[in-house]
Copies of this chain bind each other. A is one copy, B any other.
């Protein structure tokens, strides 16, 4: 029952300057509330709604930028991987390797990620029950890696909508590994804008407070200086300016329930 950790950063690496600036801002903010930070950014958005959406700088350039963040600021970094070929290079930079929700049952990817020795954070598929994640954990542990993290990011609820079942957090914690709530993807409206996903930024605060109140290990949020100008997932990203007030409340709630 250690204090809450924050995993945050932009949805996608837009460019080196913006990424570093965001990481620095985040460091300053979390220092103010004494919450440990893991910096998150994706080098490739491999499953955007539309083929013409912005995908990021690619693995090589992306890992270079993440390495710079890590070394210049001294913070751990997290990114997501999409194929077994990416595991090796990613492992050289990342502290936490993340398995995207749609890929959370792809056995080879899980096994290869586990073998890298990295911490592996698996996002729970929108199509899975919380207890189904125990089989996912089993694939990692059977591959010799017990540094497992599980992340809730909403379950399919009819069409173009997700619901956050708060029961899933204690259920998954019952497997014995840290559990994170992804407060920004949970408010996505998948495909909700036709050619891209919509989002309900206004609910991030409510859902993150609710999730932390159940007693969790980390909170995950995509942030942006100006979410409405973000190249990916703007509708559900949190404005950096709004973060400190929210984090203060989360920390206070966390202290009560732990």
Which of A's residues lie within 8 Å of B, judged by CB?
Answer: 46-52, 55, 82-84, 102-103, 105-108, 110-111, 125-132, 135, 138-139, 142-143, 155-161, 163-167, 169-170, 187, 190-191, 195, 200, 202-203, 206-207, 209-215, 249, 252-253, 256-257
Contacts and interface: CB of A to CB of B under 8 A. Distances in A.
A132 B167 contact: no
Contact of A195 (B105, B127, B135, B163): B135
22 contacts: A46-B106, A48-B107, A49-B135, A51-B110, A51-B135, A51-B138, A51-B143, A52-B142, A102-B103, A102-B127, A155-B156, A157-B157, A159-B161, A163-B165, A164-B166, A167-B200, A209-B214, A209-B215, A210-B210, A213-B213, A213-B253, A249-B256
B167 A206 contact: yes
A86 to B, nearest CB: 11
A3 B161 CA distance: 32
A117 B103 CA distance: 26
A190 to B, nearest CB: 7
A170 B51 contact: no
A50 B190 CA distance: 28
Contact of A206 (B159, B164, B214): B214
A161 to B, nearest CB: 5
A44 B165 CA distance: 31
A138 B51 CA distance: 7
Given A129-B159, A213-B213, 9 more contacts: A46-B106, A46-B107, A129-B160, A135-B195, A155-B156, A157-B159, A166-B207, A167-B206, A209-B215
